[in-house]
Amino acid sequence: MATQPPLPLAGRVAIVTGSSRGIGRAIAIHLAELGARIVINYTSKAADAERAAAEINAFPVREEITGKGPRAIVVQANVSEPNQVKSMFDAAETAFESPVHILVNSAGILDPNHPTIANTSVEDFDRIFSVNTRGAFLCSKEAANRLKKGGGGRIILVSSSTTRSLRLGYGTYAASKAAVETMVKILAKELKGTGITANCVAPGPIATEMFYDGKSPELVEKIAGECPFGRIGEAKDVVPLVGFLAGDGGEWVNGQIIPVNGGYV
């Protein structure tokens, strides 16, 4: 019988924030397929998070990742709250009896009404920056102090191609992600000597609930037409890049902002 190829992330623990649905869910499942043990993080969609974890825990048994507890656990945490972020890392270390190796910060929100800057309320500005920017900061801060040192540590923050496309109505959202991109470039330098890399993945329009919210079919068609492939991206278009960055092959990619958008921008 042919032997199965080794799993590149076997024995590693990954936290994927915002992974109850959308891009985060697809990333969590992909990293699990590569052998990682996963923390499915959510804020309010408990049932979705449980379904994602159940799918991972139903994967076929592989010898190199048996005997170490479940393949996936579910942890509720608001990434904009420091104590909850800390508790999320604590839960990962306890459940898997291992330091965390990989952080993928995918949690994010936007205003589906896409108001202009002039019409954006201060409350909505603060809410978007709280999750997108403060959340990325708190998760990166915790990861910088707690990821496994000496090689294999990966911080991957999900940004957005809106920082380049500069679409009308995305001023606050794009600004919140641009701050994350600047932060990750500095973070990569500050992690010198730890063996931990820090990068941003910047998807274009991706067919998720968050993307479709508030958009007419005509607008979706228009956005699809702006991509050289003539379609909206899918989560499966993004996850291979995240999987690469999370593995040993991604070690020499550090402090980078990598668009994955089919040439949309």
Active site (catalytic) residues? 173
Task: Fill in the amino acid letter for 262.
Answer: G
Neighbours of 2 (CB within 10 A): 4
Residue 107 burial by Cβ neighbours in a 10 Å radius (0-12, 13-18, 19+): buried
Q: Is the dihedral of CA 111, 117, 120, 121 positive or negative?
A: positive
Do residues 102 and 146 make contact, with C-beta atoms less than 8 angstroms apart? no
d(CA 166, CA 161): 8
Closest alpha carbon to 216 in 107, 144, 113, 118? 113
The dihedral region occupied by 152, where left means phi > 0, alpha psi between -120 and 50, and beta the remainder, is left
